[in-house]
Amino acid sequence: MTGFLFTGGRLVPLPGSTRALSGDNTGPAQVSFTKDGSVLVVTERLTGLIDTFALGDDGLATTHKTFQSQGPTPFGFAVGRSDRIFVSEANAGVPNGSSASSYTVSDAADLEVISGAVPTEQSAACWLTLSHDGRFIYTANAASGTISGFGVAPDGTLHLLDPNGVTAATGAGSHPVDMAVSGDGRFLFSLANGNGTIGSFRVTSSGALQSLGFTSGIPASAAGLAAR
C-alpha cells in the first residue's frame, strides 16, 4: 500500500509510505481508514488475511499486523462507529457459502471478533455497505443475483434479516458488484454489471429493501458506484 497527501485539490505521493502486505499475490480487495484515521485496514482475498496498519501523525505506518479472516475470502468492508468494521466473505464463490463478520479495531491496530462468519445463505458476497444509522449492513451476492441484509445490534453483533438471505433480488445472472447508500440514507443503489443495470431500493425502518426499479444501459465493464 502507498499513501498520498491531498493538497490543493491534487494527490501527491507521501514519501516513504509504501508498505508491503503479507506477501506477493495477496489479492487485495479493499482499503480504508477507521473513522478517526488512526488505523488503515486492507482485506486480502487470496490469503484470507486482514492487514492493519497503525498510522502516525505524519500518515506513515508505524506497525503492520495480520489477522486470519473469520470467513474465507474476505472482500469488501465498511467502517462503522465505535471503531468497528464489517467484512463480507465471498468464500471463493462456494454455492450458498458466503458470510459476513464484524470486528472491533483497537488503537493499537488489533482486531477483536464480534460476530464471526454469519452466513448469508447466498453465494459470492463480494461487496458490503452500511446504512447511515449503523443499524444494518448489506452484502452484494455476485453469484446469486441478490442482496443480503443484516441487523447490527448495539454491541456490533450481526443477525440475518431474512432466513434465506434474500433481502432484495437484482435478477438471475445480474452479478451485483457494488452498492451505495444515498446521502440522506433513505435509498440503496446496486450496480449489476451482469445485466447492465442499477437497481434502486428504499431502505425501510426495519432494514427491508423495497425495489423502486432498475435503470439499464450500464456497460459490463462498470465496477464501482458512488451516491450523494
* DSSP secondary structure, the chain, as one string: ---EEEETTEEEE-TT-----SSSS--EEEEEE-TTSSEEEEEETTTTEEEEEEE-TTS-EEEEEEEE-SSSSEEEEEE-STTEEEEEE-GGG-TT--EEEEEEE-TTS-EEEEEEEEE-SSS-EEEEEE-TTSSEEEEEETTTTEEEEEEE-TTS-EEESSTTS-SEE--TT--EEEEEE-TTSSEEEEEETTTTEEEEEEE-TTS-EEEEEEEE---TT-------
Q: What is the per-residue pLDDT for 156?
A: 97
**27-171: CATH architecture:** 7 Propeller (2.130)
Render pLDDT for 48-59 as a digit per residue (tens, 0 to 9).
999 999 999 999
Q: What is the per-residue pLDDT for 149?
A: 98
Q: What is the per-residue pLDDT for 212?
A: 98
What mean pLDDT value characterizes the chain?
Answer: 97
Q: What is the per-residue pLDDT for 111?
A: 98
One pLDDT digit (tens) per residue for the chain, 228 residues = 999 999 999 999 999 999 999 999 999 999 999 999 999 999 999 999 999 999 999 999 999 999 999 999 999 999 999 999 999 999 999 999 999 999 999 999 999 999 999 999 999 999 999 999 999 999 999 999 999 999 999 999 999 999 999 999 999 999 999 999 999 999 999 999 999 999 999 999 999 999 999 999 999 999 999 999
Record the pTM. 0.96
Q: What is the per-residue pLDDT for 74?
A: 98
Render pLDDT for 35-78 as a digit per residue (tens, 0 to 9).
999 999 999 999 999 999 999 999 999 999 999 999 999 999 99
